[in-house]
């Protein structure tokens, strides 16, 4: 039997990474599925009348071993993958898809769930139990339990194909990212690059036995080059390489995959009685309908567009005056924005980075969590890690009780996808009277330390770390009974509230003074720099808002319509971007073919939620500002009604319990400087 199918017998029941061999996964999955099926059979074959306890309760705790194996395996497939793991993922995904369908299409199981659901008015259930019952019933009805046998088979086939297509989509992007290198031999070609970025590029070249500098599509390499490199032709080359991922009509092309995923999602929704995939998804969101989402996005677009156009015009004039640029292109965006920002605010990332040594920023995030929620973080080396770069912590409360195990993984490497995310290796739940504490992880891609410098973060990376740490707190402070309602298991357009609100502390003097100290001198960040951070925080907010809205509108254009008539990915995208376009289109580039959030991750019909959650977080943070950013009463309310409750109640109900009112969009517009 695989190590993954036995009790771990490790400190805090943590994953025994170093003892797991790649060949353990497939047999472990098969055994886990077998065991989970047996647990379902026990529920179905129970001759007693269906009750909440013997059906709904039992169903939520079933498959625990399989869930644990899945979380370990798929987290590693994102953070530390290789060809073997990717191959296993392709093999395992259809098995899991089949198993999931075996549950939701199990008529006898659904009959029991339905019997409990139909008698709910006679049951004395807690709010959490009511939510769970509702969720379990909808889990069946929304996934085909009421369909005829013929339609159920069709649904199974669609789900299996979708699971494989999504994996293939991600593999193509990772392969494109890993294979591209821009090898520079001439000092003039790296002109403008900060010393740290230059040194990192040189070290990367050396590590591959090459002279000169290597620039890649990994964010810590790509973004500094696009922001600082003086050579416009090289910026264009890199920008086109980045923007053409999955769009080269080669073996790694994603165009057919995008069209197929959109079509299959539409067919699936129709099969289940929904107009489109977005109608299906949004039924279980705060936003409720595609119409509401489109109205929300377009109202923000109306408010942001005048500001964005004005900002763009100023940027165009600035580039023309500075370098006689006639037509601003996408590869000019970061470069001239940074130059203009330096001119307007005498502020640039290179000035700030010495104050944001990674270790200090981590301590800063921990201190904020301690001041707000009474948490203590202690680095420990008694638990296993999946890579040497990973940091491991024990998190305790003010009584010294274990709150969570916390993993943090900060640097890019070949087996790790780009971006930043939070995930979990073990959920929180109350089982057999014991409050099982969660194992939470955040994964980022920051600049690695070099021979001469520690890892120094840009301010944008500081907010990214706080953002993911906000998600982590949502996972760590979970305090619910049932695993499927715990932590970040909330409506998708509510899940970004804890992460986005935490970013606000990065702009506060009270917070920055806690951790922003110069890595060489120990000097606390000067007040004038704090002021500049605050005044520059709304710089190009109109353009940034337009960019976010364009992604949300693109998502809805794929999922809120019948995609049957879409034959060309690029042509469809150009049309979807029409209302938000500022820069000329680049024929060689396509966003959709690398839009992993919606075609690989779980954000399909949900990308709008970043902006939706910004409305929530701006409104919520105004409450903190009114009472004091470290006000214990407000923090306790946020912990009690938002962070600990998971998905136990409707998110708007929870929000109103915290805030005393519904969120007002004006708070976001005020913060963004878009309210005149």
CB 581 within 8 A of CB 308: no
The per-residue pLDDT for range 40-49, each reduced to its tens digit, is: 999 999 999 9
Q: Rounded distance, CA 612 to CA 485, Å?
A: 21
Is 676 a residue whose pLDDT tops 80?
no
CB 381 within 8 A of CB 393: no
Q: Rounded distance, CA 621 to CA 615, Å?
A: 10
Mean pLDDT of 316-324: 97
Higher pLDDT, 364 or 452: 364
Is 70 a residue whose pLDDT tops 70?
yes
The per-residue pLDDT for range 636-654, each reduced to its tens digit, is: 999 999 999 999 999 999 9
Q: What is the pLDDT of residue 348?
A: 82
> What is this structure's pTM?
0.85
Question: For the domain bounded by 354-537, which CATH number is listed?
Answer: 1.10.1370.40
Backbone torsions φ then ψ of 228, nearest 5 degrees: -120, -20
Is 546 a residue whose pLDDT tops 90?
yes
Q: Rounded distance, CA 30 to CA 36, Å?
A: 10
Q: Give the chain's length.
A: 676
Q: Rounded distance, CA 126 to CA 109, Å?
A: 23
Question: What are 394's strand-pairing partners?
Answer: 378, 405
Is 456 a residue whose pLDDT tops 80?
yes
| Mean pLDDT computed over every residue of the chain | 96
The per-residue pLDDT for range 348-394, each reduced to its tens digit, is: 888 999 999 999 999 999 999 999 999 999 999 999 999 999 999 99
Residue 185: burial class (beta carbons within 10 Å; 0-12, 13-18, 19+):
exposed
Residue 161: burial class (beta carbons within 10 Å; 0-12, 13-18, 19+):
middle
Is 606 a residue whose pLDDT tops 70?
yes
Of 468, 508, 541, 614, catalytic: 468
Q: Rounded distance, CA 613 to CA 327, Å?
A: 35
The per-residue pLDDT for range 493-511, each reduced to its tens digit, is: 899 999 999 999 999 999 9
Higher pLDDT, 566 or 667: 566
Question: 3-146 and 354-537: same fold?
Answer: no
Q: What is the pLDDT of residue 167?
A: 93
Q: What is the pLDDT of residue 481?
A: 98
Confidence of residue 601 (pLDDT cuts 50, 70, 90): confident
Percent of the chain with pLDDT over 70: 100
The per-residue pLDDT for range 73-86, each reduced to its tens digit, is: 999 999 999 999 99
Q: What is the pLDDT of residue 399?
A: 96
CB 409 within 8 A of CB 387: yes
Extents of the domains making up the chain: 3-146, 180-243, 354-537
Percent of the chain with pLDDT over 90: 93
Instruction: Assess whether 181 carries a catalytic annotation.
Output: no
**Other beta carbons less than 10 A from residue 62's beta carbon:** 19
The per-residue pLDDT for range 160-214, each reduced to its tens digit, is: 999 999 999 999 999 999 999 999 999 999 999 999 999 999 999 999 999 999 9
Confidence of residue 674 (pLDDT cuts 50, 70, 90): confident
Q: Rounded distance, CA 271 to CA 164, Å?
A: 20
* Strand, coil or helix: 414: coil
Question: For the domain bounded by 3-146, which CATH number is listed?
Answer: 1.20.1050.40
The per-residue pLDDT for range 120-154, each reduced to its tens digit, is: 999 999 999 999 999 999 999 998 988 999 999 99
Q: What is the pLDDT of residue 493?
A: 87
Confidence of residue 61 (pLDDT cuts 50, 70, 90): very high
Q: What is the pLDDT of residue 525?
A: 96
The per-residue pLDDT for range 74-119, each reduced to its tens digit, is: 999 999 999 999 999 999 999 999 999 899 889 999 999 999 999 9
Number of helices followed by number of strands (H, E) in the chain? 27, 9
Q: SS3 letters for 613-635?
A: HHHHHHHHHHHHHHHCCCCHHHH
Q: SS3 letters for 325-338?
A: CCCCCHHHHHHHHH
């Amino acid at each position: 039997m695989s190590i993954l199918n036995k009790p771990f017998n490790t400190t805090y029941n943590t994953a025994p990474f170093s003892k797991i061999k790649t060949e353990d996964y497939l047999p472990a999955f098969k055994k886990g599925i077998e065991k989970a099926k047996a647990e379902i059979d026990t529920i179905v074959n129970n001759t007693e009348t269906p009750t909440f306890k013997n059906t709904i309760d039992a169903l939520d705790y079933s498959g625990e071993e399989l869930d644990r194996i899945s979380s370990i395996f798929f987290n590693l497939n994102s953070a530390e993958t290789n060809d073997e793991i990717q191959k296993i993922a392709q093999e395992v995904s259809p098995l899991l898809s089949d198993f999931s369908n075996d549950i939701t299409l199990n008529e006898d199981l659904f009959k029991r769930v339905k019997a409990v659901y139909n008698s709910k008015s006679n049951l004395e259930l807690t709010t959490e139990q009511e939510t769970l019952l509702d969720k379990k019933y909808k889990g069946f009805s929304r996934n085909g339990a009421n369909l005829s046998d013929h339609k159920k088979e069709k649904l199974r086939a669609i789900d299996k194909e979708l699971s494989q297509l999504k994996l293939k989509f991600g593999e193509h992007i990772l392969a494109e990212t890993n294979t591209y290198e821009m090898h520079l031999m001439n000092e003039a070609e790296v002109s403008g690059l900060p010393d740290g970025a230059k040194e990192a590029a040189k070290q990367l070249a050396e590590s591959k036995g090459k002279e000169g500098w290597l620039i890649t599509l990994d964010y810590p390499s790509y973004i500094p080059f696009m922001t600082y490199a003086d050579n416009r032709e090289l910026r264009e080359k890199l920008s086109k390489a980045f923007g053409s991922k999955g769009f080269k009509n080669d073996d790694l092309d994603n165009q057919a995959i995008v069209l197929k995923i959109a079509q299959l999602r539409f067919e699936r929704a129709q099969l289940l009685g929904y107009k489109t995939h977005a109608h299906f998804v949004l039924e279980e969101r705060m936003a409720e309908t595609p119409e509401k989402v489109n109205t929300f996005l377009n109202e923000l677009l109306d408010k942001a567009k005048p500001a964005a156009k004005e900002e763009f015009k100023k940027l165009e004039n600035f580039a023309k005056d500075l370098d006689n640029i006639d037509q601003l292109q996408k590869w000019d965006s970061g470069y001239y924005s940074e130059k203009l920002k330096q001119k307007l605010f005498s502020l640039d990332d290179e000035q700030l980075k010495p104050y944001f040594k990674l270790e200090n920023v981590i301590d800063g995030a921990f201190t904020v969590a301690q001041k707000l929620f009474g948490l203590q973080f202690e680095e420990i080396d008694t638990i296993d890690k999946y890579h040497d770069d990973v940091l491991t912590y024990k998190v305790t409360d003010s009584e010294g009780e274990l709150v969570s195990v916390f993993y943090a993984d900060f640097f890019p490497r070949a087996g790790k996808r780009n971006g930043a995310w939070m995930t979990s290796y073990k959920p929180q739940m109350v089982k057999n009277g014991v409050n099982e504490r969660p194992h939470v992880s955040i994964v980022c891609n920051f600049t690695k330390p070099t021979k001469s410098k520690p890892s120094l973060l840009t301010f944008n990376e500081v907010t990214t770390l706080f953002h993911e740490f906000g998600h982590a707190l949502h996972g760590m402070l979970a305090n619910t009974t049932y695993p499927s309602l715990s932590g970040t298991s909330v409506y998708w357009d509510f899940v970004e509230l804890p992460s986005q609100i935490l970013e606000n502390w990065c702009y506060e003097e009270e917070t920055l003074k806690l951790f922003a100290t110069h890595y060489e001198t120990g000097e606390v960040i000067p007040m004038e720099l704090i002021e500049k951070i605050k005044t520059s925080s709304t710089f190009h907010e109109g353009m940034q808002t337009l960019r976010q809205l364009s992604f949300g509108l693109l998502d809805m254009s794929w999922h809120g319509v019948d995609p049957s008539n879409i034959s060309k990915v690029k042509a469809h995208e150009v049309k979807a971007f029409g209302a938000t376009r500022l820069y000329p289109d680049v024929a060689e580039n396509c966003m959709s073919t690398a839009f992993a959030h919606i075609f690989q991750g779980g954000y399909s019909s949900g990308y709008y939620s970043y902006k939706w959650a910004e409305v929530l977080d701006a409104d919520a943070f105004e409450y903190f500002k009114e009472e004091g950013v470290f006000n214990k009463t407000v923090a306790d309310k946020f912990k009690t009604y938002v962070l600990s409750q998971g998905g136990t109640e409707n998110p708007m109900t929870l929000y109103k319990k915290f805030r005393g009112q519904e969120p007002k969009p004006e708070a976001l517009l005020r913060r963004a400087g878009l309210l005149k």
